Amino acid sequence: MPRNRHQLVVVSNRGPYRTVPVAGKRGGGRIRVRAAGGLVAALDPVLRARGGVWVSAQDADDANQPRPDVEGGEPLEYKMATVALSRTVGEAFYQGVSNAMLWPILHSLPPTVGISPTPWNHYETANRAFAEAVLEVSDPRDLVWVQDFHLMLLPAMLREARPKARIGWFCHIPWPGDDLFKILPWRRQILDGLLGADVLGFHTKSYADNFMGCLSRVGEAQVDFSRMTVRHEGRTVRVVVAPIGVPVDELQTLAADPRVTARAEKIHRQVDHRRILLGVDRLDYTKGIPQRLRAFEQVLKSDRSARNRYVMVQIMVPSRTDVQAYRELKQEIDRLIGDINGRYSSAGKVPIQYIYRNLPLDKLVAHYRAADVAVVTPLRDGMNLVAMEYCTSRIEGGGALVLSEFAGAADYLSDALLVNPYDVQTLAQTIRDALAMTADATRPAMHALRAAVHKLDVNLWAKDFLDLLEQRP
Ligand code: ADQ
């Protein structure tokens, strides 16, 4: 079989599709829709272009399972396989360890629950179940590409079964310094698990360096900082900086669609042609949503005419709704928006429009086209695709991007208006300045931003990573 015909096996906790009831159709008809979130947005186009199989956990809620038999909606252009986990294992693996411990610590934030050993055993069990599923659907020549922090033990488990397999792992979120990483009692197991891979990818140089630092201070692997390689159990593991991007052509084509243009114009009419400040996020405490709302409140407070000239549109997709910390965040955001709208509405003009649901891509892109300013303020974020989607959708040029310096994207989008989201006063001033800029004044920076985003196309990201995996000596 020629090399480029190796099957690609993508493995992630969440699968790429959910099924939802067809609006207005009686009798339980369902339609397939793409799940929201950065990982799916990045990898679905890659698998659709290349074919292969996507292995993911079976959704505990039967209605959300990616069922290939469902007709209509997004087309299925590759195979899917699911891993069934018992409710106890699934919850401890996903919520107990992945969401409550790994997610915050890898984002350099305190864990949202106390650290205890029980869920860790389930994390191991879940990773083992994924290993069995991958071995079943793949053969030793395939390229197995494991995704993210849910599956950090999987590479070593696959390596044990298939010593010559080609295994990659990609970290979609930040990697912290060793001082924080060491909080995890299972730090050795995690590093040993990851070193089962041939190639380990990170969005930025600082995450890759942090990872190498963890290896050198925890464990016994031989680390070569100048080559960014690690010797482990007789093999060489490469640590690479592989910044993810967005599907540039697909997004630009969509942005140029006359229906999207018409929708963008409608959005303008609906807000009485006020200038639009746009936020788009998965609901998560890492995204800095309250900070951004407080900053916009400052803008409204400091200038009475602002409410007649500006509107903020905040689009949020529900996420991890069964986790307490996320429910509390949702309440805080609801309260903040309610307070601000109560205080600063005038003559039928509401200062914050709030959309809390998963939007189809064409509607999202219409909002990107309509927005004068996008505000992306994570406290910490592996990369952040929203910033890139906004720039890609600005096909007519113009538009300002306010971007947190704590997003990985800030390393690549230096022409954005970079902000510290913890400093709400300065954030408010930056938003004020951005909203006051004319479209022409924003053009040079947006031109540079679009050029930067073009270089980071997601297809290129996948191709470069998979090429490395195929070239493994
Ligand atoms: P996420 O934390 O999910 O991804 P991000 O990169 O911003 O964060 O991607 C969010 C995705 O969800 C975007 O593609 C966006 O369009 C989509 N989305 C947001 N709100 C939506 C809505 N209401 N309806 C539909 N879609 C919506 C993780 C890491 C990031 C990293 C990505 C990719 O946390 O740092 O950039 O993976 O590696």
Ligand 1: which of 39, 74, 148, 282 to mutate, judged by most atoms within 8 Å of the beta carbon?
282
C-alpha 401/C-alpha 414 separation (Å) is 10
Residue 464 Cα to ligand 1 middle (Å) = 22
The atom of ligand 1 lying closest to the CA of 358 is: 24
Nearest-atom index, ligand 1, CA of 387: 7
pLDDT band at 70 (very low <50, low <70, confident <90, very high): very low
d(CA 37, ligand 1 centre) in Å? 4
Structure tokens at 311: 């509107």
- Name residues whose C-beta falls within 8 Å of residue 6's C-beta, 6 or more positions apart in sequence: 141, 142, 143, 166, 470
Question: Average pLDDT in the 201-221 region?
Answer: 95
Q: Which of 22-36, 86-100, 194-208, 227-241 has the weakest average pLDDT?
A: 22-36
Model pLDDT for residues 443-459, shown as the tens digit of each residue: 999 999 999 999 999 98
H-run or E-run covering 137: helix 117-137
- Residue from 405, 420, 123 nearest 291 by CA: 420
d(CA 448, CA 365): 20
Q: Which atom of ligand 1 is nearest to the CA of 357?
A: 23
Least reliable range by pLDDT among 78-92, 113-127, 371-385? 113-127
Q: Which regions of 296-416 does DSSP assign to beta strands (E)?
A: 310-317, 352-356, 373-376, 400-404
**Intrachain domains 8-244+459-470 and 248-456 with the same fold:** yes
Give, for ligand 1, the residue of 40, 173, 204, 280 to mutate: max count of ligand atoms closer than 8 Å to Cβ: 280
The rounded mean pLDDT for the chain is 91
Cβ(388)–Cβ(460) below 8 Å: no
pLDDT at position 253, please? Answer: 97
Q: Are strands 143-147 and 8-11 parallel, antiparallel or unpaired?
A: parallel
* Residue 317 Cα to ligand 1 middle (Å): 9
- Residues 389-415: tens digit of each pLDDT: 999 999 999 999 999 999 999 999 999
Would the pTM count as exceeding 0.85?
yes
Extents of the domains making up the chain? 8-244+459-470, 248-456
Residue nearest to atom 37 of ligand 1 (CA): 38
pLDDT of residue 19: 73
Question: What's the mean pLDDT in 273-292?
Answer: 97
> Residue 11 in contact with residue 43, Cβ under 8 Å?
no
Share of the chain above pLDDT 90, in %: 77
Taking only the tens place, the pLDDT of each residue in 84-101 is 999 999 999 998 899 889
8 Å CB contact between 348 and 311: no
Question: Cα of 184 to ligand 1 centre, how many Å?
Answer: 26
Q: Which of 27-36, 70-79, 346-355, 365-374 has the lowest mean pLDDT?
A: 70-79
74 pLDDT more than 70: no
In the reported structure, the alpha carbon of residue 103 is separated from the centroid of ligand 1 by a whole-number distance in angstroms of 15
Q: Give yes or no for residue 75 having a pLDDT over 60.
A: no
Domain 248-456, CATH number (from 3.90.1660.10, 3.30.950.10, 3.40.50.2000, 3.30.930.20): 3.40.50.2000
Higher pLDDT among residues 210 and 1, named by residue: 210
The CA–CA distances, whole Å, from 459 to 36, 50, 158 equal: 19, 10, 26
C-alpha distances in angstroms, 21 versus 14, 31, 355, 356, 414? 20, 6, 20, 18, 42
Q: Which residues line ligand 1 (CB under 6 A)?
A: 36-39, 41-42, 172-173, 244, 280-282, 315-317, 358-359, 364, 381-386, 389
The fold of the 8-244+459-470 domain, in CATH, is: Rossmann fold (3.40.50)
State residue 290's pLDDT score.
97
Backbone angles phi, psi at 109, to 5 degrees: -125, 160
Helix axes 248-256, 361-370, angle to 10 degrees: 70
Ligand 1 test: best mutation among 18, 315, 384, most atoms within 8 Å of CB? 384
Identify the pLDDT of residue 48. Answer: 85
Q: Which atom of ligand 1 is nearest to the CA of 315?
A: 23
Residue 325: per-residue pLDDT = 83
> Residue range 224-244: average pLDDT?
96
What are the helix and strand counts (H, E) for the chain?
Answer: 18, 17
